[in-house]
Each structure stands twice: as structure tokens, then as C-alpha cells.
Amino acid sequence: MTVMEPKLAERRKGVSEDRARSRLKGVLIVIVLLSLVVGAIWLIRSPVLSIRAVDVSGAELSNPLFTVSELAMGQGTPTIDVDASAIESAIALDPWVKDVKVVVSWPGTISIAVVEYTPYASVMAADRFVSVADDGAVLTVGDPLAESPRIEIDAGPVSPGYDITNPLIVGAIDFSAALPREMAAQVVVSAEGEGLVATLLGFRVILGRPVDMEEKAIVFASLIESGLEPGSQVNLIAPLRPAVTNPQPLPEPEE
């Protein structure tokens, strides 16, 4: 029978114990790492790191809070699940929204900054009127706006959210937008042939093609300031060479 020397046996025992300790240490490290991962996942999706506030600024006619709720990204939603781009895209579909910026801040805040359109002019649309912003965005359907430009050019069956691109209508908006506010509130613009004609302060203003509209508005305002005979016709087809035709006197009745 072979008898192992005591020193060799002790050494083998020490090696076995070292290996066992190493394995145990490795197992403990894995357990700790798994615990950290599970804990982190729980923390990220816990109420501690969920949305607690949705701050909105600039919204009067739009309803960003409703949109956030419809997307299921409001209060109580884990912050990590909130998609700022998706919220922006959904809010931007509102006809009243001109621009929107959404910022998600940890641990749990959504900040929404909205810039809304302002109704500027009334435009004919089939048998009704629509209110539009100064860039042609359709906002509402209804009666003409009070004290605002009126454009009697048919835009067709448009509805809120549509962007009008008809050159004549865009030109009419540009002309009125360049007028002094008190003049713009009274102007009526219509189409004549392939050009535009405006009625304002008792004057008939031939604008022609929808080009150089800002310049035409500035020239007309200057002519008004210089004094025009009431009822005159102003031709601004060439704005650098405006032509003014005074009203013709009415013929005297025969005796």
C-alpha cells in the first residue's frame, strides 16, 4: 500500500481549497453582477425614474397634454420609454401648431414648447371662407375674420392643416402682410385674369402678377401718404413706375 507523504498531501489539499475558493469567488461575482443588472433594470422602470411632470408652454389653441396622453407617454411612464421625436411629430399634426420642441429630462420631466399660428387673413374656399396664417396654413373654417385681409380667390375644398400654395393667394397674402397694419385690416384682394387686383380705402389697385408684392405694398403706402384723389386707380404692375388714374367726373345731366 502506497502512503502519500504528509507534505505532498497537505500541498494537494491547499491547491484544492484554493480552487474551491476561486470558484466560489467567481460565483459570488456573477451573483453580484446579476443583482446589479436586475436592480438597474428595476430602477430604470420604477416610479423613481418615471415621468412625474409634463410642462407645456405656448399652447393656447392646441392640446399637447392630450396628445402625450394618447401616446401613453404621460405621467407614470418610465422615462426611458418616452420618445421625444414621436411626441413632436404627433403634436405637429395639430393645424394650430407652427413649431414644437420636446425635451425629456431625467429623472422624470417632459418639457414641451409650442409656437402656434395666428389667424391672419380670410380666403375663399368653395362656398365658405377659411382663416389662414401669414404663410398660407389653413387654420379654421367659418365666417371671414373681422379687421383682417380678405382674399376673394377660391382656394378649393381645403381644410385645417392644409398649406395653400396657389401663387395668386400667396401673392395676395404677401401684399397685405407688407402693408401697414391699419391698411391690411381693410384690404380685399381678388383675381383678374392672371393677375391680382386690390380694393383698399376706396382705391382700386392693379397689382398684376404675384411678384414683388412687398415692393408694391410699400409703394402704395407711400402714394397714400403723399395724397391721392379719392376713387383713383393705381397701377402697380411695374412698382418702380406706378401709374395713377384720377376718377373721371360724372357727366352733367342734360337739361
Rounded-to-integer distance, Cα 111 and Cα 101, Å: 8
Please report the beta strands in 108-178, taking only residues with DSSP state E, as ranges in sequence order. Answer: 109-116, 121-125, 128-132, 138-142, 150-152
Give 210's contacts (C-beta < 8 A, 6+ positions apart). 167, 168, 170, 171, 172, 174, 195, 196
Domains of the chain: 49-116 (3.10.20.310), 121-245 (3.40.50)
Going residue by residue through the chain, which has 255 residues, state the pLDDT in tens, using 9 for 90 and above: 455 566 666 666 666 666 767 777 777 787 777 766 776 666 566 577 789 999 999 999 999 999 999 999 989 898 888 999 999 999 999 999 999 999 999 889 999 999 999 999 999 998 899 999 999 999 999 999 999 999 999 999 999 999 999 999 999 999 999 999 999 999 999 999 889 999 999 999 999 999 999 999 999 999 999 888 888 999 999 999 999 998 876 566 665
**pTM for the whole structure:** 0.75
Instruction: Quickly list H helices, the chain.
Output: 6-44, 64-70, 84-91, 167-177, 181-184, 213-226
